Amino acid sequence: MTDTTDIEAKQDIVEIAVERYKQGRLTRRGFVAALGALGVLPMLGNKAMAQPKEIIVVNWGGQAKDVLQEVLCDTYTELTGIPVIVDGSGPSAGKIRAMVESGAVVWDLCDSGAGSAIILEQQGITQPINYDIVDRSKVLEGTAYNNGVGNYVYSYVLATNPTMLGGNVPTTWEDVWNVKDFPGMRTFRKSVRGMLESATMAQGVPLAEVYDALGTEDGIKSAIDKFRQIRENIIVWGSGSESQNLFLQEEVAIGNIWSTRAHLLKDQMPEGSFQVSFNGGVIAPGIWVVPKENPAGADEVMKFIAHGQKPELQVKWLEMIGSGPINPEAADMVPPELAPFNPSSPENLATQILYNDEWYAKNQTSAEELYVNALIN
C-alpha cells in the first residue's frame, strides 16, 4: 500500500516550476535551483554516471515500482544482459518536458497517460514508437498513438461492501444514485475525472453516448446536478490510498474508485465484504512514452516495450498489483479467480468505455469549478 499524495504534490510543484520557467518568471538558474531543492536534480545529474547500455524506466513509485522492476525489467535483463532500472519518481508531463528542454535526458521510458502523451507529442518532446518492433496488434484498440503506446489499463469502477449494505448491492450507477433503496455513504473522486461519466450513466444514458451527452453544456450541468442531489451521502477521496482507507474503515459502502485499489482491497477486506462491478466503468490506459534523445537510444527502448507486451508478463502484473493487461491475448491466461477483477477481460471491456482525454482537455477546468460548487453549496 502506498500513499501517493506527497509524490503528487511534488510533481505539481515541479510542474509549476516548469510553467514559471516557460513564462520567463523563473530564471534558468532559479529553475535548476528549485528542482534541486525538490530533490529532482540528482536524477538529472545522473547522466554522466549512467552506463551507456542501461535502460531507465520511470513510473509513479510505490509498490508498482518494485513490481515493474521484478516482472518486466529483471526478466529483460535475464534475456539480454542489459540492466534495466526503475525510477519511481513520477514522470509527469512537466518533468519530462523540463528534462528534454534542459538537454539533460536521463530517462529512457516513461509511464504516462493518453492526454499527456498527446500533448508531449505536439510539443515535440517525445519520439515516435517504432511499430516494426512494437506490435500494434498487441495493445487494446485506441491505445496505440504515434508517440506513445499502451502498457496497462486501469479503470474507474463501482466498488461495494455487501456486508454493510445487507446484501442489497447496487449494480448500476442508477442504483448508486438511489439513496432510498441503497442507503449509506458513497465515495467519489475529489476531481471530475472519471466521475461525470458515472453521473451521466446514472441518468440512463447508454455507454456509447456518454461523451456525446457530456459534449453539451446541459449534459455537464445535469451530470453535476446528480452529485448535488446526493451530496449528503458523499465523502470524496483525493488519493488512491484515501479511497482504499474509506473502504477499510467502513466509512463508505459504495464508491467509484480505481480498479487497482479495488484489487488491493479484495485481499484486505473480510470474505464477502467487498465486490467490484465493471458495469459502466471508465477505462484509462497507461501509456509508454520515450523522451527525445534518451540515453539508451530509441531501438533499445522499443525492444524493451515489445518485451513488456508478452501476455504472460502482463498477467503476472495483474496478479501482483491489479493493472489490467493491455494485450488482449492475455485475457485467456488470467486465472479464473482473478478474471472478475481484470479491467481488460472481454466481459469487462464490453461494459466499459474508454476515458476521453480530448473531452477533459476542453472541459475539465470549468467542470471542476461546478463540481466543487455542487459538493459544498
Partner 1 sequence: MPQITDSFRYWMLIVPALAIMIIFYIFPVLGIWQISVTEPEAGFGNYVRMVESSAVRTSFLITFRVAAITTVGCLILGYIVAYTISNYASRLTPLMLALVLLPFWVSVLIRSFSWIVLLGRSGLVNDTLRDAGIIDTPIRLMHNELGVLIAMIHVMLPFAILPMLANLRGISGSYVQAARGLGASEWTAFWHVYFPQTLPGVMSAALLVFVLSLGFFITPALLGGGRVLMISEYITYQIQEFLAWGLGSALSVALLIATALVLLIAARFVNLRSVLLDRK
Contact residues for partner 1 (CB under 8 A)?
9, 12-13, 15-16, 19, 185, 190-191, 231, 234-236, 238, 249-251, 365, 368-369, 372-373, 375-377
Cell numbers 448491492: residue: 169
CA angle 57, 283, 357 (to 5 degrees): 80
Question: Which one, 15 or 66, has the nearer CB to partner 1?
Answer: 15
Question: Which one, 19 or 218, has the nearer CB to partner 1?
Answer: 19
Q: Is residue 189 within 8 Å of residue 236, measured between CB atoms?
A: yes
CB of 199 to partner 1, least distance (A): 15
CB of 368 to partner 1, least distance (A): 7
Which residues of the chain form beta strands (DSSP E)?
55-58, 84-87, 109-113, 144-145, 148-160, 186-189, 234-237, 254-258, 275-289, 353-354
CB of 61 to partner 1, least distance (A): 18
Q: Of the candidates 309, 345, 320, 359, which has an alpha carbon nearest to the alpha carbon of residue 133?
A: 309
Cell numbers 522492476: residue: 69
Question: Which one, 78 or 377, has the nearer CB to partner 1?
Answer: 377
In Å, how far are 79, 244, 265, 304, 353 from 274, measured between CA atoms? 40, 11, 7, 36, 23
Question: Which one, 85 or 235, has the nearer CB to partner 1?
Answer: 235
Q: Is residue 293 within 8 Å of residue 105, measured between CB atoms?
A: yes
Question: Which one, 216 or 373, has the nearer CB to partner 1?
Answer: 373
CB of 238 to partner 1, least distance (A): 8
CB of 185 to partner 1, least distance (A): 7
Backbone angles phi, psi at 126, to 5 degrees: -115, 165
Distance in angstroms (rounded) separating the CA atoms of residues 105 and 98: 9
Question: Which one, 15 or 74, has the nearer CB to partner 1?
Answer: 15
CB of 256 to partner 1, least distance (A): 13
Distance in angstroms (rounded) separating the CA atoms of residues 120 and 292: 10
